[in-house]
Amino acid sequence: MALDSSLDVEYLQGIHVVDSILWLDAPRLADLCFVSHAQQKFTGPHRKILLSEKTAALLGDLGKTRALISPFYRRFSIGGLDLELSPSGYMLGAAQLCVTRDNHRLVYTGDFLLDPSHTTESARVIETDALVMKATCIGHEQTTPPRAEVEQEIVDWARRQLESNLRPVLFTMEAGQSQELVAILGEAGLGVRAHRTICALSKKYVSLGVQMTPPRRYTPNAGLGDVILYPWRLRRSRAIAKLERARTALVGGRAVIEQAKIGSEVDVIFGLCEQADYRALVRYAQESGAGKIYLLGPGAGELAEEFRRMGMKAWTLRPPVQAELFSSR
């Protein structure tokens, strides 16, 4: 996959920076793997991982894996590569990685969000020669409403349920989006109870400097008057099934994509985007000035075609598909 520069990437059961020991959010064992955020699943243990200070704090015990921990905006060198972490905006501590070698620059965004949020460091577009982006959204229709509008809709909906003596239950991801909701609801003056994992992570956020009131732990015998936050994966748990006078909502940008599939499981869906939508992906690609763009994720193929129609050089990063040997492309 390498082109005409001294700095490129390839897919070898994970994303690898060519002619280096560096891998990017790799699912396979690596000598050195960059871990972009605390939700990222990494196997191994890798021999070494590179991550931000706050991501390391959120992950906690790394076992026998050696960690190279860096603050944002501090340049350092490893094996002929100059490296620098900067915020990606996806969740607290989430990072982009800028790699420089022989005056060529490559940026890996991982999951990112350019919109301002309540609990994360602000992200910015980085100018680069080569860009590796994660494309979760698929097509023009995956452009989400402005965050401020969706935040207000969530607060207004929760207030209406509480005023009607109902229990508003918000389902979302345990890490990142849950803490964002804790901050949003708290700033609106609403009390919050949450599953124990959300409570624990929220306390870690506060210990790392995020200004918010951690939620109280939810118990089935808790009285009325608070918004309940629960992981989407536990939506069918006994604690929720036995909850009386409940009204449920799913919060997340991906929820909009899957609305037809999951709409019957909740009363309402709020598309509060936790990662870049179509508009943000296009903006980053254009403003970065990248001469070549590599895309991964469920929307990679369609977005690569869209970028090529816009005049950009774009490819997908994914495991080889045998049928492509006979493709006209």
Residue whose entry in the numeric block shows the structure tokens 């200070």? 53
CATH topology of domain 147-270: Rossmann fold (3.40.50)
Confidence of residue 319 (pLDDT cuts 50, 70, 90): low
What single-letter DSSP state applies at residue 81? E
Cα dihedral sign for 200, 203, 205, 208? negative
The structure tokens listed for 74 are: 């501090």
Which amino acid makes up residue 128? T
Which amino acid makes up residue 63? G
Pairing of strands 66-70, 76-78: unpaired
Which amino acid makes up residue 124? R
Domain 9-141+275-326 and domain 147-270, same fold? Reply is no
pTM tops 0.85: yes
Domain boundaries, the chain: 9-141+275-326, 147-270
The structure tokens listed for 247 are: 């009204």
* Domain 9-141+275-326 bears CATH identifier 3.40.50.300: no
d(CA 185, CA 84): 34
Residue 174: strand pairing partners: none
CA angle (81, 82, 84) in 5-degree steps:
130
SS3 197: helix
Phi/psi of residue 23, nearest 5 degrees: -120, 160
Neighbours of 224 (CB within 10 A): 11
Cα dihedral sign for 273, 275, 278, 280? positive
The per-residue pLDDT for range 93-110, each reduced to its tens digit, is 999 999 999 999 999 998
Which amino acid makes up residue 188? A
What single-letter DSSP state applies at residue 213? P
Res. 137: pLDDT tops 80 = no
Region 198-220: mean pLDDT is 93
Radius of gyration of the chain (CA): 21
| pLDDT value of position 236 | 87
The per-residue pLDDT for range 145-166, each reduced to its tens digit, is 788 999 999 999 999 999 999 9
| pLDDT value of position 138 | 57
Q: What is the mean pLDDT of the chain?
A: 86
